[in-house]
Structure 1
């Protein structure tokens, strides 16, 4: 499945934010990587996959989906920073469990800080989609969730967020 439409939507949002916040002379790549790490952590927190000491169940499907697509916004932004405008997810990469999947994603993001490598980004993207699979999200659900949150993000900009 192609993610071209989402890259286009993200580029529009990014351009709007850069214009409205006068960030034309600022390199946002590392801030976007950090934002992706933070969103990934928020997602892991909602899944509670690493909280071996707790019996509390994960958050609702809707909350987890919203955190997932928050991360997707920054993942797409990182891809755009690398000059990627479309990507095909031919084979989602999945680890044995959610904890391993999150740790692998953190590692890939860290590697992208040191080396702006398109091949590495493609692996990261595939692992991120694999995480969505592991969380029970179809690509259609991910795309619809992204579109809904993108609209909210534009509305937030309208309101001076």
Structure 2
């Protein structure tokens, strides 16, 4: 995973948001970014479902049909091809939504250079808890400022591994969602 590139992409998105919302310039945006991260982590946990001990359905939402591929039809229009369903991975999408805020918080704190200088992928293992439920709780604690930014970053990356996402999947999904977020800013989202 190319963290430097992802921080650069996040900085460009953050700048785009500031251009669209100039009232945010020059103020401390850490509080709402932290709350947004906590909400996204909760949404990710909701898609994971493993904490829902009261439910018989605790399977993570990793493949949900969203429709069908649209293809040119014989009448010169576009119609769905019912033999080609389109799927999304809600768990990965929510994880990546949270990653946007993890990176943005690092930018807000001005920790990017320090993190990139000292980042060691093997430290992710040091931030893994014995199970996913405890890992979500560790991310909540780190996001609440109890352990510092490096702990938040490593704990969040460890969560991604524990949810069985590859670094390539995370990076690809991050880039796709980053592009969507830019389009949302342009359309007045």
Q: Number of matched residues?
A: 155
Match of 1:132 in 2: 160
CA deviation profile, 1:119-144 (whole Å, cap 9, x unmatched): 82112111111101011111111111
Highest Rg: 1 or 2?
Answer: 2
CA deviation profile, 1:59-86 (whole Å, cap 9, x unmatched): 1251111000000000000000111235
> Residues 2 and 89 of structure 1 are in contact (CA less than 8 Å); yes or no, is this contact kept in structure 2?
no
Moved over 3 A (4+): none
- Separation of aligned partners in 1, 2:173 and 2:2: 16
Q: TM-score, normalised by structure 1?
A: 0.90
Q: Pick 1 or 2: higher relative contact order, CA cutoff 8 A, min separation 6.
A: 1
Q: Comparing both structures, which one devotes a greater share of its residues to strand?
A: 2
Q: Comparing both structures, which one devotes a greater share of its residues to helix?
A: 1
Match of 2:66 in 1: none
CA deviation profile, 1:107-130 (whole Å, cap 9, x unmatched): 111125xxxxxx821121111111
- Residue 90 of structure 1, aligned match among 100, 121, 124: 121
Q: TM-score, normalised by structure 2?
A: 0.77
CA deviation profile, 1:8-50 (whole Å, cap 9, x unmatched): 0000110111111112133211110110000000000110121
CA deviation profile, 1:81-100 (whole Å, cap 9, x unmatched): 11123533422121111110
Structure 1: segments with no counterpart, 5+ residues: 113-118
Structure 2: segments with no counterpart, 5+ residues: 64-88
Alignment RMSD (CA, Å): 1.5
SS at match of 1:60: coil
